[in-house]
Amino acid sequence: MNPFGSKYKNTLLAALIESNISSWKPQLQFVELAAQQVLYESGDELSCIYFPVTAVVSLLHILENGDSTEIAMTGREGVVGISVFMGNNATPSRGVVQQAGTAYRVNSCFIKEQFAESLVVMQLMLRFTQALISQMSQVGVCNRHHGIEQQLSRWLLFNFDRIDGDHLHITHEQIAHLLGVRREGISRSASDLQKLNLIEYQRGNLHLLDRQGLRAVACECYGVVKQEYARLQANPRSVNTPRDALTRLEHMMSMAGRYLVDVAHGEGRDLNHVLISTFYFLCNCFFIGSHHCLCGF
The residues binding Zn ion (CB under 5 A) are 142, 146, 219, 221
CB 139 to Zn ion: min, Å: 8
CB 146 to Zn ion: min, Å: 4
CB 222 to Zn ion: min, Å: 7
Residue among 79 and 219 whose Cβ is closer to Zn ion? 219
Beta bridge partners of 80: 50
Residue among 146 and 226 whose Cβ is closer to Zn ion? 146
CB 159 to Zn ion: min, Å: 15
Q: Spell 231-253 as b/e; 16+ CB within 10 A means b.
A: ebbeebeeebeeeeeeebeeebe
CB 154 to Zn ion: min, Å: 5
Q: Please, what sign has the CA dihedral across residues 122, 164, 30, 18?
A: negative
At a CB cut-off of 8 Å and minimum separation 6, what does 213 contact? 196, 197, 198
Angle formed by the axes of helices 119-145 and 220-232, nearest 10°? 170
Residue among 103 and 186 whose Cβ is closer to Zn ion? 186
Q: Minimal CA–CA distance to 138: which of 207, 38, 219, 210?
A: 219
Residue among 147 and 204 whose Cβ is closer to Zn ion? 147
Residue among 170 and 224 whose Cβ is closer to Zn ion? 224
End-to-end CA distance of the chain: 39
Residue among 73 and 221 whose Cβ is closer to Zn ion? 221
CA contacts within 13 A on the Cβ side of 37: 16
Does an H or E element contain 110, and which?
helix 108-117
Torsions phi, psi for 106 (to 5 deg)? -135, 140
CB 71 to Zn ion: min, Å: 14
